[in-house]
Amino acid sequence: MTHDIHIIGGGLAGTEAAWQLARRGWRVRLSEMRGTGERSPAHQTDGLAELVCSNSLRSDDHEKNAVGLLHHEMRLCGSLIMAAAEKARVPAGSALAVDREVFSAEIEAALTAQPSLTLARERIDRLPEAGLTIVATGPLTAEALAQSIGAATGAESLAFFDAIAPIVYRDSINMDIAWMASRWDKGAEASLALGGDGRDYINCPMTRDQYLAFREEILAGEKAVFKEWEANTPYFDGCMPIEVMAERGVETLRFGPMKPVGLDNPHWATPEHPNGRWPYAVVQLRQDNTLGTLWNMVGFQTKLKYGEQQRIFRTIPGLENAEFARFGGLHRNTFLNSPTLLDRQLRLKSAPHVRFAGQITGCEGYVESAAVGLLAGLMAAHELGGRDWQSPPATTALGALLAHITGDADAASYQPMNINFGLFPPPPEEVKKKQRKEAYTLRAKAALADWLPLLG
């Protein structure tokens, strides 16, 4: 054997795990199927850690936000994903959004520069019978390997649909109708620091009649037909297709991705309202690359057919001549019932030489996937070094996420979960409601500071 550990999957979790091990000198074989002529239904490139859905890693606020706190903790653990995100960052208010191509290139360059890491472009069809292994193949694991995992777990994996939002070319957007602004000007300071102007979103306004007509078009539009094996797969609430939201009620979209609050339209300014007035609904677009040439439609993941997407989305004011760099899509995600199948160190109970990491464990989101990869890499490094592992405290974001995956969640109703303060132990009762988020983060930072020296 020419390696100490085998990592299967070159996504966010696999690359983060590989980094944590290789930077400590362990010999890593990182196997990635893309580059062999094969790709999953959602991937478009052969680059490591390709972001297939949004280009946002969500809020970077670590004072009062759970995912921002997770960013902070990962940075302190030497995360490759977070370091690459900083180099590839684009203006997005208080969110951490990246240029996808720069982000992927930074990760691949950092890994291939590690002398103890071998990047193998190969498809792995079955779980290794021996040798330390981390499986980080994500929610679109290739069929043969998925069958091998199913045979090893002795249980059927759960599955849900995850949808992808369309991307529009910036120069095809009519800025005589649309305008630049962030909701309530939130995140303006962070935007300015990145070279933005504090107005990081393109906003397309709708009147009430336009909104109602648009919703009817969404409902009537021709949708992709599910395959037989997909028919009973549920959606994940955090990535609901826009047409499914539209079906839930006339006003659902206005209280979701099309909410108008905090967005004053300057094109509608009058002497009585010199700053404009709020539209009935708003479609927002967020910058998707460093050049600012590509913008994604926030919250507009969809299963509409491509021709229908072009026709219907061009009825949005400001997008009447929109050119699409990518249409929205839909793919099936698969994940393990981890509280039942994995131990507290992410090892398969029936084959403890195998760890799982990333979305296949049932975490949801880019950052969460990378965070579980980070933990799996650290756990494996301790095991290889003959050292006892101590998990991060449950009061930290890393610890709360790990506890949810490996045992705190109800196995009978286990579902994908983003990091949120509901996964943390509650603060003392005397903490007032308005101060709870700050209390969570302050407690987490103190606990992490005590835990970090245990990493060695």
* 118-158 residue pLDDT tens: 999 999 999 999 999 999 998 778 888 988 998 888 766 66
Provide the CB-side half-sphere exposure for 270 (13 A, CA). 5
How do 329-335 and 158-164 pair as beta strands? antiparallel
Considering only CA atoms, which of 206, 192, 390, 367 is closest in space to residue 281?
206
Contacts of 128 by beta carbon, 8 Å cutoff, 6+ apart: 6, 353, 354
pLDDT confidence of 272, banded at 50, 70, 90? confident
Cα separation, 432 vs 426, in Å, equals 12
How do 158-164 and 167-169 pair as beta strands? unpaired
Cα separation, 79 vs 29, in Å, equals 19
pLDDT of amino acid 228: 57
Instruction: Tell me if 11 is assigned to a ligand binding site.
Output: yes
pLDDT confidence of 215, banded at 50, 70, 90? very high
Region 210-226: mean pLDDT is 93
Cα separation, 91 vs 54, in Å, equals 14
Instruction: Tell me if 14 is assigned to a ligand binding site.
Output: yes
Q: Where are the beta strands (DSSP E) in 104-183?
A: 117-121, 133-135, 158-164, 167-169, 179-181
Instruction: Tell me if 221 is assigned to a ligand binding site.
Output: no
Cα separation, 209 vs 221, in Å, equals 18
pLDDT of amino acid 246: 96
Q: What is the pLDDT of residues 51-71, one digit of tens each?
A: 987 899 999 999 989 999 999
Provide Rg for the chain, Cα atoms. 22
Instruction: Tell me if 130 is assigned to a ligand binding site.
Output: no
Residue 423 pLDDT > 80: yes
Cβ proximity of 97 and 57 under 8 Å: yes
Region 368-374: mean pLDDT is 98
pLDDT of amino acid 329: 82
Q: Which helix (H) or strand (E) holds 340?
A: helix 338-341
Q: Between the ranges 153-162, 267-276, 436-445, where is the mean pLDDT highest?
A: 436-445
Region 379-408: mean pLDDT is 95
Contacts of 301 by beta carbon, 8 Å cutoff, 6+ apart: 53, 162, 163, 164, 165, 239, 240, 241, 242, 328, 330
pLDDT confidence of 191, banded at 50, 70, 90? very low
Model confidence, pTM:
0.79
What does the DSSP 8-state code read for residue 220?
A: H
Q: What is the pLDDT of residues 290-340, one digit of tens each?
A: 778 889 999 999 989 999 999 999 999 999 999 998 898 877 777 898 999
Instruction: Identify the structural domains of the chain with CATH numbers, from first to last.
Output: 5-157+336-437+449-455 (3.50.50.60), 164-332 (no CATH)
